[in-house]
Amino acid sequence: MNALLQITASRIREFYREPAAIFWVYGFPLLMALALGIAFRQRPIEQPIAVDLVGSGAEALQKKLAGDQRFKLTLSPQEDWKRRLRAGKTDLVIETDSADASKYTVWDEPHRAESLLARYAAELALRGTEASAASTKNSPTVEQKHLEDKGTRYIDYLMPGMLGMNLMGGGLWGVGFALADLRTRKLLKRFLATPMRRSDFLFGVMLSRLIFTVPEVLILLGFAWLVFGVTCQGNLLLLLGVITLGGVSFSGIGLLVASRAKTVETVSGLMNLVMLPMWILSGVFFSYERFPEAAHPFIRLLPLTAMNDALRGVMLDGQSAWQLWPELTILAVWGGVTFAIALRIFRWR
């Protein structure tokens, strides 16, 4: 029993002698709770329902619904509305023909609750509009359709986001945690006695992480294809290149985060601080375009946002490398800059 008490007391003293560990274990969660509590202390302002209007009668319908504050109406090209609905950029699509203004086709995304609620509100508005315009006429015909085509389902939108999140977690944790663990066990400082250059060591750590990344991604892609029928519409070599570039980017961030962290607790807190904004903002589960437009330029500069946009561009829209050059440039800059800074400030001890 005495030995048990001794080791327990020893571990407690070690923990409280590390200020960074105390902050990340106790301080950071309190700060997050305070920030979120302030942000959501009042009932959020109800957002208008995003509705795309397509077809030859779209402009006339827009005028009819213009006074309804529940809807944010957008005239969408015929060839673009499926992509927008799939990506969550709109909640609903109403298709109408000028030749028959009393007939509407309402498209929703059945796997998103907000899309189903939007359909209900739109149907009430359409019937109410026609009834007020001509109360003696028959109620308009509203046909319901679900977006279920391969490449247009929510699962098709979700899987690239899951791939991006997996690459981020693997790059940051696989690199950062490993370095912090080596430093904690006093193994890093042994390399000081060797002729190995710091750049060779850091690049080797990054390269080893990339070698593990490819099988991980292939397994996830294979699972998505076998179970959900998710396919890649674009070039597979380009997809592999995007994955590799993303792996380099996140590995560079992992190197930077762990370049001076002395304990596992410290690096864990830093990892959460880096990843949490990207989990929320970068469009893993829903489109980041639902956030205020003023924030979009900053969100697009996040590496996970660029990664997800590039993956979806290849897998869902079959885009080329030239079409994806903004996203690829952002990933390359993140990888190069973070690796250069990590190389500059890295410490063996």
Low-confidence stretches of the chain (pLDDT beneath 70): 1-7, 9-12, 14-47, 78-79, 87-88, 98-101, 111-113, 129-139, 148-152, 290
Q: Which two tokens stand for residue 31?
A: 């700060």
User: Which neighbouring-strand residues pair with 104?
Assistant: 96, 142
Same domain for 54 and 83, yes or no, is: yes
pLDDT for 333 equals 94
State which H helix or E strand residue 95 sits in.
strand 92-97
Domain limits for position 139: 49-146
Beta carbons within 10 angstroms of residue 277's beta carbon: 12
Cβ-in-10-Å burial (0-12, 13-18, 19+) of 258 comes to: buried
CA distance 341 to 179: 16
CA distance 40 to 285: 20
Q: How many domains does the chain have?
A: 3
CATH number for position 104: 3.40.1710.10
Same domain for 177 and 313, yes or no, is: yes
Same domain for 298 and 182, yes or no, is: yes
CA distance 86 to 293: 20
Same domain for 29 and 158, yes or no, is: no
pLDDT for 62 equals 76
pLDDT for 303 equals 93
Same domain for 176 and 289, yes or no, is: yes
Cβ-in-10-Å burial (0-12, 13-18, 19+) of 20 comes to: middle
Phi, psi of 140 (to 5 degrees): -65, 155
Label each residue of 49-84 as H, E or C.
EEEEEECCCHHHHHHHHCCCCCEEEEECCCCCHHHH
Evaluate whether residue 44 is within a structural domain: no
Domain stops at, among 120, 146, 172: 146
pLDDT for 16 equals 63
Evaluate whether residue 12 is within a structural domain: yes
Q: How far is CA 248 from CA 205, 208, 242, 257, 315, in A?
A: 11, 11, 10, 14, 20
Same domain for 211 and 84, yes or no, is: no
Beta carbons within 10 angstroms of residue 92's beta carbon: 25
Same domain for 284 and 179, yes or no, is: yes
pLDDT for 44 equals 47
Q: What is the pTM of this model?
A: 0.70
Same domain for 317 and 168, yes or no, is: yes
Q: Provide DSSP, 124-184.
A: HHHHHHHHHH-TTSPPPEEEEEE--STTTSHHHHHHHHHHHHHHHHHHHIIIIIHHHHHHH
Q: Which two tokens stand for residue 73?
A: 């109406």
Same domain for 327 and 215, yes or no, is: yes
